[in-house]
Chain A
Amino acid sequence: MSTTSTAAAPPAPVQPGPLTRKTLTADHPTWCPGCGDFAVLASYYKVLEKLQYPQPNIVTLAGIGCSSRFPYFVNTHGVHFIHGRSLPFAAGVSLGRDDLHVFVFGGDGDGFSIGGNHLVHTGRKNVRMTYVIMDNFVYGLTKKQTSPTSPVGFKSKTDPTGAMDQPINPMRTLINTGASFVARSHATQVNHMVEMMERAARHDGFSVVEILSECVEFNEGAFDAAIPRKGGQFRVIEERKNDGSPEDALRHDPSDEIAAFRLASQPWPGVFGVFFETNRPTKNQLEAGLVAKARERTKGASDLELLQSSFKRLR
C-alpha cells in the first residue's frame, strides 16, 4: 500500500551534506533573553556536528514546557508531544525503528512530576535513547509555580510563603530507575555539557543528562553556587582511570551504584559529571532477540503463511 504524497513524483533525494550549525538551525528560539536553554541548544548542535548521523535519521522530541519547545529550533524530524509523555512516545520511535537516533528534551515538571512514572519505567526497560532534562527548579512557561525540584522555602505563586514539599533529588531518582547512563551538567559549562551529551548519545541504552539551566525570569541566580565567576564552585567528578595508581582508588567508579548514590547525596550544589554508567541489555536488544527466536521457530515462513497457519488452527 502506498502512502506517498499525492503530488507529482518527488525529485531525487537530496544527499544531506555534513551537519553544520547552519544546516541544523531552524526557527529562532522563543526563550527569554539570558535563558540557560540557549546554551543547551548550542551544545546539542555541537554534539550533532561531532556525531554526523544522517540528518533524516535524527529525531528530536519533547513534551511540554519552556525547554520542550526545543524541536522547533532544530532542523531534524521533530515531535512536540503532550505534557509528561515524551518518553513513551520516544520509546515507541526507538523500538519501532532501529535506524533512528532519538533525542528527548524536557524540563523538571515534564520529567519528574507529570511524567515521573514514565521516567521510572523507561529506565527499567532501558530503551535506547538520550534524554536531556533542562532543570530550572520552577515552572516557567506557566509563570512561576513550584516545581518538583524547587527547594524547600522557594517562594512561588503556588507557595507564596515558601515551598514545603521535599524536592526530588534528580540523580538519586534517575539511578534508581535503572537508567544505564546518568550524568549531570550545568548550562554555563558548554564544554562539559557537550562532553556529557556526546557520551550519553554514544551510550547504548537509556541515557539521561540533567542540566541545571537557569530561568532568569522566575528563578534568577538559582544555580550561582556552581558558577565560579559568581563565587561558586563547579566541581567535576573525577572518574577512575584504572591506571593502578594509589590516587586512582579515590576516584569515582561510575559502574558502582552505591558510590553513585553517595555522590548524588552530597550537599547543594553537589558535583557534575557521570554519576552512573553500566552496560545492561537494552529493551531494543531483548525484543530483537524475541523476534529472532520466533523467526527461528517459524523457519522463514512469510507473513501470509504465518497467518494461514493460525487460521488453520481455528478450523
Chain B
Amino acid sequence: MVLPVNSPSPGTDPLVPVTRKSVNDVVIRLAGNSQDGIQTIGGFLARLAGRSDQDVMTYMTIPSTISGGPSIFQVRMGNGDILSSGDQADLLVAFYQHSYDDHINSLRPGGVLIYDTEYVTPNPDDRRFRSVGIPITGATVEAVGGSSKDKGKNLFVLGLITRIFNLDVAKVSGLIAERFGGKSEDIVRNAMLAFDAGYGTPADNLRDVLYSFEAATVSASGRPQVTTDGNLALTYGLITAGVRHGAGYPITPWSSVMETMRTELSKYGGIFVQTEDELAAIGYALGFAYSGHLAVTGSSGPGMSLKMEALGWAVMAEMPLIVINVQRGGPSTGMPTNVEQSDLMQAIYGSHGDAPRVVLAPKDVEDCFYIALEAGRIAREYSTPVIILTDQALATRIEAFDEPDLPKLMVDPKPDLSPRGMDFKPYPLDRLTRHAPPGAPIATGKYPNVSGLEHDELGHPTGNPALHMKMTARRRDKLKALAATLKTPEVYGDQSGDVLVVGWGSTWGPVREAVKQLRAQGTKVGQIHLRHLHPLEPGLDTLFARYRKVLVIEMNDEGLYGFGQLATLLRARYALPSIGSITKTDGLTFRIAEIVNGVNKSLGRNGSAAANATR
C-alpha cells in the first residue's frame, strides 16, 4: 500500500491547480449503516475499476438483522493483481460516530479520514491521520432538496471519491444512469445532483488528499473485463456447464444463486423450483437428474445437513448432481453473514455409510465460474454427486476478471435418450455407470431400477455380502480413477525450502500475498492451492517432502487435536508430522499479517515483530 505521505502545505492558493500524488492501488473503506446504500457505491467503484482495466476486490459486512445496523463496504482497486481486499484502509469514510469508533483503527497511519461533520466528532488528540470533515448529510440535502432528506448521501460520497482519485466522471455518470435509468427520470436527476455536489466539494478542503492512479495495462486475453460477485459468477458457470434445472430453499448466503437461477433458467427453457424444504430441494434436483438433466441444488451448512440422506442415496444410485454449499459461520445458525470453511468434513464425509463423493472448492470469484464447469464435467463423466464448497466471502465480494470464452466453453444440456444396447447394465462392475433416463428404450426390454438398496449390476436388490463389498469398492474406485486423471498442483514461489503453505477455497488471495511478503523477507516459502479436495490431486507427498514444514491455512477450528479440517485429512492421508495448521474462526477473511505471523511463529520466530517488519 503505497500512498505517499506528504506533510500539509499551508498557504497554497486554492485557485492554483493542485498536484495529484500518484498511486498504484488503494483501499477505500465505507462505513455506515446498511440502509445508506454504501454497497451501491462500492459496487459502482468495483464496476468502474473493471471497466478501466484495473483489478479490484471488495469486501463487505452486512448485519444479520432484518433492517439497519452497522455495515461496511471495502473496495481495493488498482493495477496489478489484487489478491485480497487489503488489511488496512488508505481512505475511510465514516458516516456516523459508531462508524468512526469501530473503524478508525483499520485506517493505515497516514491514511485519509473523511467524516460527516454532522454526526462524527473525531478524537482531536489522534494525529495519525489526515482528517477531512465534510457536512455530507447537509450538503446532500441542500443539493437534492425537498423531501428526499438525506437519501443520496452515498452518491454525494461517490462524487467526493471520484474527485479525490481523479476517476473518470463520464464513466461514473454512465454507471449511475445505467443503474437508475430504469426508474424515473427524477431518480437519475437527484442521483446526479448528489453526485455533482460531492464532486464539487471545494478544493480547499481536499488539496492535501488528491490522487490519481497510474495508467492501467490492458488485459492480455483481448476480451473485456467483467465485474461480478462469486455467487453470480457461479450461477453463470452452472448455466455454461449445461445446468438448466435445479431446486433450492432460501438460506443466507446461498439465496442469491437460487434467485438468479429462478429468473435466468426460464429464458433457457429450464426451471428452478423453490421447494418446501431442503430435503425436497435435493429430491427435486435428483428427480431432474434422473430424468436426464444436469441438475443443481445448494444451500449453506445447516441446509446441507438436511440434504445428507438424499446425498447418500445419490452416491448409492450413482446419480450425477451438483450440490453447492456457500459456507458461513457455524454450527447451527451460527454467524450467518460471516465466513468460515468449517463444512469440509461434512462435505466429504457427511451422510451415512461409505458414501464417497467429489468435493471441489473455487479459489476466487473468477474460479467460481470455472469450478462449475469442472463440477459439471465430473458429475456427468463419473455419474456422481459433486459438492462445490464456496463461502460467504466469495459469494458477496466483487472482482474483475477477463470475460470467459463462452463459445468454447458452452456445454450442450440435452438429455441422452439414445437407445441402450443388449449389454446395458445400470451398475456394471467392469465400467462406469451411464445413467439411462426414462424415455431411453432398452434393447433387452428390461427396464432398470435406480436404487438406494444395495443392488446387483442390473439394479436388483441384494443382500449378498460379497456383492456389497464389490459394489462399495466400485463406488470408491471410480473416484480413484478420477484422481488419477488430475494434475499435481503447481507450486508458486520457492520449489523447496522452509515452508509449503497449503490453502483451499477463498484463502487463495491472502495466502498468495503473504507468501510474497515472506519471500521478500528471505523465508523460503512455496504455495499450493487445492481445488480438488476429494479426491485429492495426486503427487502431494512428493511436494510435501521438499519442505521442512507444510502449513495448511484454513478458516475453521483446530479441533480437539490441534489441526484444522484439511490439515487433519492431509495428516491422515500422508502420515507426515511436518504437516501443521494455521486456523482461525473470527468469521472474517484472513488478513495477510495473520498468515505471515502464523508462518513465522511456526518457524520459531517472533510473530508480532515479523508482522511489523512487513510495513
A residues in contact (CB < 8 Å) with B: 1-14, 16, 23, 26-27, 55-59, 71-72, 75-82, 85, 87-97, 99-100, 117-118, 120-121, 287, 290-291, 293-295, 297-298, 301, 303-304, 306-308, 310-311, 314-315
Judge whether A78 and B447 touch: CB under 8 Å: yes
- Which residues on A sit within 8 Å (CB–CB) of B145? none
Among candidates B412, B424, B437, residue contacting A5 with C-beta atoms closer than 8 Å:
B424
Chain B residues with CB under 8 Å of A6's CB are 431-432, 434
Q: Which 4 A-B pairs have the closest CB atoms?
A: A92-B287, A10-B421, A88-B283, A96-B291
| B546 to A: closest C-beta gap in Å | 39
- Nearest B residue to A297 via CB reads B267
Residue of B nearest to A9 (CB): B421
Q: A57-B438, A72-B460, A80-B450 are in contact. Are A14 and B416 (CB under 8 A)?
A: no
Partner of B439, one of A8, A56, A78, A117: A56
Minimal beta-carbon separation of A281 from chain B (angstroms): 15
Residue B448 lies at the interface, judged by CB distance under 8 Å to chain A: yes
A186 to B399, CA, bound (A): 63
> CA separation between A103 and B534, bound complex, in Å?
37
Q: Is the CB of B421 within 8 A of A78?
A: no
In the complex, how many angstroms separate the beta carbon of B110 from the nearest chain A beta carbon?
Answer: 35
Apart from A88-B280, A96-B290, A311-B404: 20 A-B pairs, beta carbons within 8 A: A1-B411, A4-B416, A6-B434, A10-B418, A72-B449, A78-B449, A79-B451, A80-B452, A81-B283, A88-B281, A89-B284, A93-B290, A93-B438, A95-B287, A96-B288, A118-B276, A295-B269, A304-B410, A306-B267, A315-B403
- Contact across chains for A90 and B443 when beta carbons are under 8 A apart: no
CB distance from A30 to the nearest CB of B (A): 9
Hey, which bits of chain B sit against chain A, CB under 8 A?
50-51, 224-228, 232, 236, 239-240, 242, 245, 247, 264, 266-271, 273, 275-277, 279-281, 283-293, 295, 309-310, 313, 317, 380, 403-404, 406-407, 410-413, 415-416, 418-424, 431-432, 434-443, 445-453, 460-461
11 A–B contacts from the bound complex (CB under 8 Å): A1-B380, A14-B442, A75-B445, A77-B447, A80-B449, A81-B310, A85-B283, A92-B284, A92-B295, A100-B438, A291-B266
CA A93 to CA B437, docked complex, whole Å: 10
Q: Does A307 contact B447, Cβ atoms closer than 8 Å?
A: no
CB distance A79 to B450 under 8 Å? yes
- Alpha-carbon separation in the docked complex, A16 to B232 (Å): 46
B309 A287 Cβ-Cβ under 8 A: no
B226: contacting residue among A3, A11, A81, A315, CB under 8 A? A315
A314 pairs with B227, CB closer than 8 A: yes
Q: With A57-B439, A82-B452 as given contacts, are A14 and B445 in contact (CB-CB < 8 Å)?
A: yes
Given the known A-B contacts A85-B283, A315-B224, are A2 and B416 also in contact in the complex, defined by CB atoms under 8 Å? Answer: yes
| A99 CB, nearest partner CB in chain B, Å | 6
Given A80-B450, A96-B292, A99-B439: A295 and B267 within 8 A (CB)?
yes
Neighbouring A residues of B287 by C-beta, 8 Å: 88-96
Chain B residues near A298 (CB-CB < 8 A) = 267
CB contact between A78 and one of B310, B407, B450 (< 8 Å): that residue: B450
Question: B423 contacts which chain A residues (CB < 8 A)?
Answer: 5, 7-8
Cα of A278 to Cα of B21 in the assembled complex, Å: 74
Bound CA–CA A85/B275 (angstroms) = 12
Contacts of A26 in B (CB 8 A): 446-447
CB atoms of B284 and A77 under 8 A apart: no
B424-A118 in contact (CB<8A): no
CB distance A8 to B421 under 8 Å?
yes
Q: In whole angstroms, what is the CA distance A56 to B461 when docked?
A: 21
Query: Does A287 contact B439, Cβ atoms closer than 8 Å?
Result: no
- A97 and B291 form a contact (CB under 8 A): yes
B475 CB, nearest partner CB in chain A, Å? 17
Contact yes or no, B421 A7, CB < 8 A: yes
Which residue in chain B gives the minimum CB-CB distance to A298?
B267
Which residues of the other chain, A, contact B436 by a CB distance below 8 angstroms? Answer: 77
- The residue of chain B having its C-beta at the shortest distance from the C-beta of A119 within the complex is B276
